[in-house]
Structures are given as C-alpha cells and as structure tokens.
C-alpha cells in the first residue's frame, strides 16, 4: 500500500485476447523513433507484470553552453509506482524525463537502470518507454485507430490484431465509436486520450508523461486527471509524470518530487510534502503557507500582534509557518494572534481572509464560516500548535 492509501496496483486483463504484441521499441514522439524496431519476444497485451523500476544513479545534465539543467541525482522509482516531478518552468523536469527516455544522455558517470538492466547507452527505441507530451504529437493524416495502432504496425503486428487492440484501447479511453475519425475532428481532451492510448498500445515498461494536461482547460484537466489516475492504477504501470501544477501532482503521485534549479528539493508522499515541507521553497510552492517571524522567548515566538507556542523540537526557530486552513478566526484578543482584515475573497467553498498583523506581517486564513468580513475590522486568529511547521535551519 502506498503512503497515499492507494490499493496495491493490480493488473486486470481487459479481455481474454490472444493478441500478441512485441515489446521492444517504444512509442516515441516521432515516426523516426517509432519506425525502428527491436527483437524482444511478443507478449499478450495488457500484461504489465514486467513494469520496470527506474533507478537513476548520479544523473546530472550539463548542456554545452554550461547550463546545469540537472544536478547529480540518485533516485529509485518502484515498479508500478507513479512519481510526479513538480517544479517551476526551467527547473529541469523535461531534461530529467528525456534522460529516462533515452532522448538525452546524462553527464559522464550518470547511469539509468530499468530493473536490473543498465539502459544508459540504449537509445529510446530500445528502452520500451511510452511517451505523452503536452502537444499531442499525433499523425494528422491518420485516423484515430491508425494513430493508436501505429506502434503495432511498425512492429509487424497483423491488421486484425491491430484492430482488436485499438478497439480495446478506444474503449478503455472512452473513445469508442471515434476510431474512424481524423484527429483534427477531435477535441483537445479526446486528442490527449488518443495520445495516451497510442503510448500504451506498445505496452511500455515505463510510461513518461510531460505536462500532458497543460494545454487543456481547467475543467477538462480535472476530469482527465481522474481518468489518468484510474488508468495508471489499474494497469500497474511505472509512470513518471512531469507537471508544474501542484494540484495535479498531489492528486496523481504516489510520491511527488519537488524540483528547483535542477535539484530535487524533497521527495515524498503528497501528504509529507504538504504537511512537512523540508524547505521554504517547497512550503511556498505547494499551496499557500503563512510564515511569521519573531523573537524567541522561552518556548514561544513573540512578534507584534501575537505569540505562538512552538513545538519542543523547535529550539532555535525564529519563525513559524502554517497553512491557511489550519488557522481559525476568533474574537479579537481571544486567539494567539490579533490583526485587521485587509481583504476577504469569497471563493464559494470557503472565504480566504487576508489579515494584516501589526509590524508589517500579513497572513491568510481560510474559513468555511458563512459570515462577511469588513476591511479594517479587528480580528483574532488562533492556530493549533500541532499545525505549526518549523524548518530545520
Ligand atoms: N539544449 C539546451 N541547451 C541549453 N540549455 C538548455 C537546453 N535545453 C534546456 N536547457 C535549459 O535547461 C534548464 C532546464 O530545462 P527543462 O526543459 O528541463 O525545464 P522544465 O522544468 O521542463 O521547464 P518547463 O516547465 O518550462 O517545461 C532550463 O534552464 C533550460 O533553459
Ligand atoms: Mg518541460
């Protein structure tokens, strides 16, 4: 069981098919990649028992112009696990994915293993990975079914088997009935599901997804996110997913790796990352985190507008952090902090209240109380001491 409380992933065949499909070449992004084949023996489609673990040993990437896109990284992704790499633009997510895919080589000394296989020197077409990109990278001159079956065709799978295979994937992706359409007759969400089906058709050992939902609108993104989550779980496939969207990362990852400037700052279950951020960067990047600074006074932190009792382990802390939803609005003077309402935003499921503390510190508090707030009114805020986050300095 993962820390996320997911059930163990378990393969369920999608039907009693005799369809045989050679493993080997991946679903690459370009026809050039896909056209190359290898000689791994055929297996029944859907049997993901061979989902591979991925191990990166001392993988770094320095580009010829000196850009250090990835700093040396050691990391293991379990077979069947979904690890989401999350971070701002330019932090090295795609570079990392390309190293796993075999589209880029790590700096000298870096190694990539799939299970026990050292695949460092193997090009993408011999790693058996499936890739899905932000841009769909579908073939516009082919139908949906032909797109999905493309990888099978270049591997010499018979036409009737290809048809059977595509039909099953179309069903799985809720695209049934659309097999004969051209891809330019599909919506963005449908196209991305075709891209996913195409990547899965070749039964990859590792599925790599680079911001697959970024091009879609918010509502569609959310519904596809649910679909992808269900799919990854039911297939038991090893997946590496890259995004800058923290909600997506939290929802999909068995573990989330937060990256900044080519470095993995923290990797852990979504709850660990959220409730126990290891750095100020992680705390700020994942959701909203309040931070107040003050002077240490015995077990407490004092600052204009309040006093917070710190946990015993926070010996030398000069700050405390807390999530907006871990603070409670109370009468002025009744809580640990007192300030004034600077703004309040009704967001439907809650109200986000911005509170100015004396001495130029500002915090935000989320409340589900059905009341209105008047700017400038005095307000009290209380925080459960267990909800305080203190960074080790
Ligand atoms: N071929 C290249 N030559 C030089 N620098 C590069 C090259 N490709 C990427 N970089 C740099 O490496 C760093 C990491 O790039 P990368 O594409 O991995 O970021 P990313 O996290 O995927 O960003 P985004 O979210 O914008 O896709 C960036 O600073 C980028 O400019
Ligand atoms: Mg990228």
The rounded Å distance from CA 116 to ligand 1 centre is 29
Is residue 42 pLDDT above 50, yes or no?
A: no
Q: Which residues keep their CB under 5 angstroms from ion ligand 2?
A: 94
- Ligand 1 binding pocket mutation candidate from 60, 86, 91 (most atoms within 8 A of CB): 91
288's CB contacts (< 8 A; 6+ apart) are 323, 324, 364
Instruction: Indicate the SS3 state at residue 200.
Output: helix
Question: 263: closest CA among 33, 86, 100?
Answer: 86
Q: pLDDT per residue over 122-144, tens digit each? A: 999 899 999 998 876 888 889 99
- Structure token digits, residue 300: 């407490």
- Structure token digits, residue 274: 């959220």
Is residue 149 pLDDT above 60, yes or no?
A: yes
Q: pLDDT per residue over 306-349, tens digit each? A: 999 888 776 678 899 999 999 999 999 999 999 999 999 999 99
> What's the pLDDT at 36?
24
Q: d(Cα 122, Cα 230) in Å, to the nearest integer?
A: 31
For 243-263, what is the mean pLDDT?
A: 95
For 196-221, what is the mean pLDDT?
A: 89
Is residue 259 within 8 A of residue 92, CB to CB? The reply is yes
Task: Map out the domains of the chain with their CATH numbers.
Answer: 54-128+203-283 (3.40.50.300), 291-387 (2.40.50.140)
Is residue 30 pLDDT above 60, yes or no?
A: no
**Dihedrals φ, ψ of 184, to 5°?**
-75, 0
Is residue 147 pLDDT above 60, yes or no?
A: yes
> What's the pLDDT at 393?
62
Is residue 369 pLDDT above 90, yes or no?
A: yes
Instruction: Indicate the SS3 state at residue 32.
Output: helix
Point out the ligand nearest to the CA of residue 88.
1
The rounded Å distance from CA 211 to ligand 2 centre is 7
- Interior/surface letters 5-17, b for 16+ CB within 10 angstroms, e for the rest: eeeebeeeeeeee
Pick 284 or 111 by higher pLDDT: 111
Which secondary structure element, helix H or strand E, spans residue 96, and what is its range? helix 93-101
> What's the pLDDT at 373?
95
Is residue 86 pLDDT above 80, yes or no?
A: yes
The rounded Å distance from CA 309 to ligand 1 centre is 43
Which secondary structure element, helix H or strand E, spans residue 243, and what is its range? strand 238-243
> What's the pLDDT at 24?
31
In order of 144, 213, 264, 388, the CA distances from 193 in angstroms are 10, 10, 29, 42
């Amino acid at each position: 069981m993962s820390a996320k409380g997911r059930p163990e992933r378990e393969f369920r065949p999608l039907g009693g098919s005799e369809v045989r499909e050679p493993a080997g070449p991946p679903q690459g992004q370009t026809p050039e990649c896909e056209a190359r084949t290898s000689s791994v023996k055929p297996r029944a489609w859907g049997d993901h028992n061979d989902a591979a673990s991925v191990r990166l040993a001392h993988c770094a990437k320095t580009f010829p112009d000196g850009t250090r896109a990835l700093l040396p990284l050691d990391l293991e992704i379990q077979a069947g696990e979904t690890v989401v790499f999350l971070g701002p633009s330019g932090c090295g997510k795609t570079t990392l994915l390309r190293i796993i895919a075999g589209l880029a080589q790590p700096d000298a000394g870096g190694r990539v293993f799939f299970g026990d296989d050292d695949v460092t020197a193997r090009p993408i077409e011999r790693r058996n990975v499936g890739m899905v990109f932000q841009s769909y990278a579908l073939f516009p001159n082919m139908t949906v079914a032909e797109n999905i079956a493309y990888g099978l065709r270049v591997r010499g799978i018979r036409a009737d088997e290809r048809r059977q295979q595509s039909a099953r994937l179309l069903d799985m992706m809720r695209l049934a009935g659309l097999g004969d359409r051209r891809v330019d007759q599909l919506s963005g969400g449908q196209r991305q599901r075709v891209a996913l089906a195409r990547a899965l058709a070749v039964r990859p050992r590792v599925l790599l997804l680079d911001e697959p939902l970024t091009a879609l609108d918010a509502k569609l993104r959310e519904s596809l996110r649910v679909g992808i989550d269900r799919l990854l779980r039911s297939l038991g496939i090893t997946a590496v997913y890259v995004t800058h969207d923290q909600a997506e990362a939290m929802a999909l990852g068995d573990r989330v790796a937060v990256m900044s400037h080519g470095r993995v700052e923290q990797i852990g279950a979504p709850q660990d990352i959220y409730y126990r951020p290891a750095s100020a960067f992680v705390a700020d990047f994942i959701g909203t985190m309040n931070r107040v600074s003050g002077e240490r006074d015995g077990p407490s932190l004092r600052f204009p507008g309040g006093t917070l009792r710190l946990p015993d382990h926070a010996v030398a802390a000069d700050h405390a952090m807390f999530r907006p939803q871990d603070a409670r609005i109370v009468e002025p003077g009744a809580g640990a902090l007192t300030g004034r309402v600077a703004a309040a935003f009704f967001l439907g499921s809650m109200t986000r209240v911005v509170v100015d503390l004396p001495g130029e510190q500002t915090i935000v508090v989320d409340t589900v109380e059905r009341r209105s707030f008047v700017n400038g009114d005095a307000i009290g805020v209380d925080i459960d001491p267990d909800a305080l986050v203190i960074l080790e300095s």
